[in-house]
Amino acid sequence: MTGYNFACRGIGMDCGFEIRGASSKVEALEQVVSHAKHAHQMATIAPDLAKKVDAAIHP
């Protein structure tokens, strides 16, 4: 399996959302932002959360 993976649990959220095999970190980030908006009612991602998300996206 290639690509970037992310799990909401990885940043301490009680949520089963996962991204598997995103083709780039940017693509994974876009999916996380979209998910955060819809599932977690986050209109914007705070800088400290963005840092956590960035650290939790692994190839």
Least distance to Zn ion from the beta carbon of 34, Å? 11
Print burial letters for 16-49: b (CB count within 10 Å at least 16), e (below 16).
Answer: eeebeebeeeeebbebbeebbeeeeeeeebeeeb
Q: Spell out, one character per residue from 14 to 53, where the chain touches Zn ion: x when CB under 5 A holds, - when not.
A: -x-x---------------------x--------------
- Is residue 54 close enough to count as binding Zn ion by CB under 5 A? no
**Total binding residues for Zn ion by CB under 5 A?**
5
Contact 31, 19 (CB under 8 A): yes
**Residue ranges that bind Zn ion, judged by CB under 5 A:** 8, 13, 15, 17, 39
